Every structure is written in C-alpha cells, then in structure tokens.
Structure 1
Amino acid sequence: MTTGNLVAKLRAHRAAKERLDQARLELDEEIARVVDNGEWQIIDVAEVTGWSRETIRAIVKSVHERQSGVSTESAT
C-alpha cells in the first residue's frame, strides 16, 4: 500500500487551511481598522463582503476583544 500521495495531499490541505486561517485574521483586523478609523461604514463593508451588518459588528467586536486579551469565539 502506497500512502505517499495521500500524505502529501493531507499536508498540502493542512498548510492551505493554516494560510486561510491567517488570511481571515488579517481580513478581520483590516475590517476593524477601517471601521474604527471611519474610513468605511459598517453598511459599506457589509455590501462589499456580502455579510450582514451584524456579522461585521461581531467581527469588529471580536478583533477588539482579541486585541485586549479577552478570549472570544470566531465571529463567523
């Protein structure tokens, strides 16, 4: 039984998931930054992302809590 290809695909999948998780953190931080600085309104971010205003508010809150050291679950 050869498992080399399966193992390689599993490793590639895990690496891609890690990159996706990091990209999502960076996106969340950028959303919070532009909302906090008044560069974008929540409704505009919601329109661009296709997410609800409530989701955007939850993302901003989650970033603030993460930055202040409060443990929180993912907003989406």
Structure 2
Amino acid sequence: MELIWHLQQTTEDYIMHLETRHLQQDLVLEKQGHSQATREQEAILIHSAQSLTLWATNTWSSNCSPPPPPFSGL
C-alpha cells in the first residue's frame, strides 16, 4: 500500500513540475513576444517621426524660399 501511495505522490509531483515548467515557459514566451512587439512599435514610431521631420523640413524650406522673379516680358 505504501508503494502505491509513493508512486501516486511521485506522479503528482512530476505532473505539478511539468505544469509549473509549462507556465514558466509561457511567461518567457509572452515576455519575448511583448518585447518584440514593443521593438516593432518603437521602430514604427521612430520612422514616423523621421518622416514627419523630413516632410516638415522640406515644406518649411519650400515655403520660405524667395518668390520667383517678376515676369518682365512686356
């Protein structure tokens, strides 16, 4: 009877160990996925900011350029 109890306890302990390990692995994968998503969002944000800065600089430069010389064809 004691042998059966011992086997049952060992089996339960092993199952608990496997479940805990799977939960830990899930947490690691979740953190990695979150980190990857964060890096992708940062890259998109940086690219957007750079594009807006370039657009604003080009727009400002073209709006601040001197007007063309007047037409003197007459």
TM-score by length of 1: 0.48
TM-score norm. by structure 2 comes to 0.50
Higher helix share: 2
Of structures 1 and 2, the one scoring higher in RCO (CA 8 A, sep 6+) is 1
Larger-gyration structure (1/2): 2
